[in-house]
A and B are shown apart, each in its own frame.
Chain A
């Protein structure tokens, strides 16, 4: 267990969240715009190989923010394309993100079935 990772996770995760908050407060963008922007930015940084470098030292500070979703999509597409050619962009797209999507659908569905809207 590496305690320094926890400090970097806090700082990087906090900084990304603060960036999102500043965009929300200073512009007319909605949370939907901000989250989409984060995913696209994560995808582009992933394509440049920069996002994985951030993950290396910030750990969950980089994997928990939604930008890692864009990165994971790109990494899946690229690594499969490396093995099988252009078609790999299609077949590998959800290779790494399937955990997140599956969890979100299953847990989201179950919670929505069990609970009722509050207020």
Chain B
């Protein structure tokens, strides 16, 4: 974590300790992680494209309309795999490859809900569901509000 600059300076011992820890903590395998994220993220999107085409052809939708049910399908798959405990096993290799697509959004909702299930359906599942997913929604809506306001006031 980033250190608070207002805190008093580290003693010599603390400094040496910090350096020791920094050298001992294993570096993440950057290249391997990046390649795996690319492959898994790409595959998730290929699945998404497949569902988009299925909905487009079956229900005679435009590509744009078909994107919505396809996203819902991927969310369903992400949620189900999390419930089955399979998601985490794949995510150990895939990393951001599963987290960046909407499957990660579904995973964060189910994972939080399950983690707090013991607190009951109302205060556990119902309230804690958006513990992780709430932040992207909040920032997304605030961003969209500002962008929309700029459009409404200055562009049209």
Interface centre among A11, A60, A66, A101 (most CB of B within 10 A): A60
A17 in contact with B42 given A85-B152, A108-B110 (CB within 8 Å):
yes
- Give the CA-CA distance A90 to B48 in the complex, in Å: 29
Closest residue of chain B to A1, judged by CB? B53
Contact B117 A112 (CB under 8 A): yes
**Segment 80-119 of A: residues with Cβ below 8 Å from B:** 81-82, 85-86, 88-90, 92-93, 96, 99-105, 107-119
A111 in contact with B83 given A38-B100, A60-B46, A64-B48 (CB within 8 Å):
yes
Contact A43 B151 (CB under 8 A): no
Contact A31 B113 (CB under 8 A): no
- Name the distance in Å between A72's Cβ and chain B's nearest Cβ: 9
B140 near A: Cβ within 8 Å? yes
- Name the distance in Å between B60's Cβ and chain A's nearest Cβ: 14
Contact B33 A25 (CB under 8 A): yes
Contact A59 B52 (CB under 8 A): yes
Closest residue of chain A to B70, judged by CB? A60
A65 in contact with B152 given A74-B147, A113-B121 (CB within 8 Å):
no
- Name the distance in Å between A75's Cβ and chain B's nearest Cβ: 9
- Give the CA-CA distance A6 to B70 in the complex, in Å: 14
What are the 9 tightest A-B residue pairs by CB atom distance, in nearest-first order?
A: A17-B41, A13-B45, A14-B42, A77-B148, A60-B48, A112-B113, A21-B37, A73-B144, A115-B83
Could you list 19 further interchain pairs (A-B, Cβ under 8 angstroms) beyond the known A60-B46, A60-B51, A89-B145? Answer: A9-B46, A14-B45, A16-B100, A20-B99, A35-B104, A35-B108, A39-B143, A47-B147, A64-B45, A64-B101, A74-B144, A76-B144, A81-B152, A89-B152, A103-B71, A112-B83, A112-B113, A116-B114, A117-B115
A–B Cβ pairs within 8 angstroms, 30 of them: A5-B49, A9-B45, A10-B43, A14-B37, A16-B100, A17-B38, A18-B97, A21-B36, A21-B37, A21-B38, A26-B30, A34-B96, A34-B100, A40-B140, A46-B147, A59-B63, A64-B70, A69-B105, A82-B156, A88-B152, A89-B145, A100-B68, A100-B102, A104-B105, A104-B106, A107-B75, A111-B83, A111-B110, A112-B129, A116-B114
